[in-house]
């Protein structure tokens, strides 16, 4: 009996970084694995051709799966996203054709929380800017830095990452304030505030809210105007939460002291070049969760989901199990 066929869409140069050998080896124990030999993300036409005869497709985080794709792959049982964000998958179209869609759980909470604390220290002590000046051969004058101890961090979005940032901040002796209309903190030392109140009192504003229609441009000119001129803005969530032009103007006009951005509105959530090159900004290319532990968590969870599917079972992380007719048909064989 031949093995079921699983397609991995990760471009070849992203496979080791965003999936890894351990997960690939485990996957090969249960399926015949097809890999993307190209260095680019496949177009829909390329995806359709590559997915013919496949039972499961494991999608790289940037792989778009649209209605045309799902209509053209009658053998596909499931589309398994090796990431938490599934906005590039047309779930309605998948459901219409009876294809199961799954997502991976986060797993990157510790990595992103550490990134947040790292850039808070760098901003407060001018580490990145002074280092860049030395690299460029410029004379560097000592500047007074600020300690995290005693400063106030305002966390917008108190989910898993927000809670981890709060715990690390408390270990540094910081005052912690949060804004999350859906969560009441259990720790009495953490203050819950309305957004504008938090913005006005925080020395470091950390944006960790989910990207929804309600949070589009949550940090706009009005929000930035509430911040202290000495405060720093940090975004480790999604680019859609921030009005880039308003942030750039606030930096140019000295209405905030600086920013750190791991996300933005460019492709793959990269920070925009205009903000990334600003001298008051620390920008990184969406790497807050890019550690072996975080990537391994999602890749191995994706393999476990695939095993469930190949056995005819609905896995944890299923998005549309009530529409998974092809999986139900597989289980009935």
pLDDT of residue 252: 97
Query: What is the mean pLDDT of the segment spanning 143-148?
Result: 96
CATH number of 109-283: 3.40.50.720
Dihedral-angle region of residue 173 (phi above 0 means left; psi in -120 to 50 means alpha; beta otherwise): left
Query: What is the mean pLDDT of the segment spanning 247-275?
Result: 96
> From the candidates 286, 297, 323, 330, which is the catalytic residue?
286
* pTM of the predicted protein model: 0.86
> From the candidates 81, 103, 204, 238, which is the catalytic residue?
238
Contacts of 282 (CB under 8 A, 6+ apart): 119, 122, 123, 128, 258, 259, 260, 261
pLDDT of residue 333: 64
- pLDDT of 140 strictly over 80: yes
* Per-domain boundaries in the chain: 5-106+291-331, 109-283
- pLDDT of 98 strictly over 90: yes
The third-level CATH classification (topology) of the domain covering 5-106+291-331 is: Rossmann fold (3.40.50)
- The residues with which 102 forms a beta bridge, in sequence order, are 80, 318
Using pLDDT thresholds of 50, 70 and 90, give the confidence band for residue 1: low
pLDDT of residue 71: 97
Per the prediction, the chain carries an average pLDDT of: 95
Query: What is the mean pLDDT of the segment spanning 204-218?
Result: 94
CB 116 within 8 A of CB 234: yes
pLDDT digits (tens, 9 = 90+) for 49-66: 999 999 999 999 889 999
User: Does the active-site annotation cover 286?
Assistant: yes
Torsional sign, CA 198, 200, 205, 209: positive
CB 84 within 8 A of CB 105: yes
State how far the Cα of 243 lies from the Cα of 223, in Å rounded to an integer.
10
Same-fold call for 5-106+291-331 versus 109-283: yes
pLDDT digits (tens, 9 = 90+) for 279-312: 999 999 999 999 999 999 999 999 999 999 999 9
User: Does the active-site annotation cover 238?
Assistant: yes
- pLDDT of 42 strictly over 80: yes
């Amino acid at each position: 009996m031949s093995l079921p066929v699983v397609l991995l869409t990760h471009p070849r140069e992203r496979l080791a970084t965003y999936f890894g050998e351990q997960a690939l080896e485990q996957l090969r124990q249960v399926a015949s694995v097809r890999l993307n030999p190209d260095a680019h993300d496949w177009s829909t036409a390329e995806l359709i051709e590559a997915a013919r005869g496949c039972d499961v497709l494991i999608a790289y985080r940037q792989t778009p799966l649209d209605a045309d794709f799902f209509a053209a792959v009658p053998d596909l049982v499931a589309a398994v996203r090796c990431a938490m964000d599934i906005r590039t998958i047309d779930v309605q179209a998948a459901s219409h054709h009876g294809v199961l869609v799954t997502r991976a759980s986060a797993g990157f909470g510790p990595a992103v929380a550490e990134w947040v604390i790292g850039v808070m220290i760098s901003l407060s002590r001018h580490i990145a800017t002074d280092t860049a000046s030395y690299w460029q051969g410029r004379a560097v004058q000592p500047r007074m830095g600020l300690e995290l101890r005693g400063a106030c961090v305002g966390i917008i979005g108190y989910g898993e990452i927000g809670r981890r940032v709060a715990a690390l901040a408390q270990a540094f002796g910081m005052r912690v304030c949060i804004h999350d209309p859906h969560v009441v903190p259990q720790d009495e030392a953490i203050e819950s505030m309305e957004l504008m109140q938090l913005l006005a009192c925080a020395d470091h504003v950390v944006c960790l809210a989910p990207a929804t229609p309600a949070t589009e441009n949550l940090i706009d000119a009005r929000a930035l105007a509430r911040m202290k001129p000495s405060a720093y803005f940090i975004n480790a969530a999604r680019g859609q939460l921030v009005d880039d032009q308003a942030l750039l103007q606030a930096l140019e006009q000295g209405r905030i002291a600086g920013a750190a951005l791991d996300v933005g509105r460019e492709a793959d959530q990269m920070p925009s070049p205009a903000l990334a090159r600003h001298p008051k900004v620390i920008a990184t290319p969406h790497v807050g969760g890019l550690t072996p532990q975080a990537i391994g968590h999602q890749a191995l969870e994706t393999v476990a989901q695939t095993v469930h599917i190949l056995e005819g079972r609905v896995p944890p992380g299923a998005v549309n199990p009530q529409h998974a007719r092809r999986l139900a048909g597989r289980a009935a064989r």
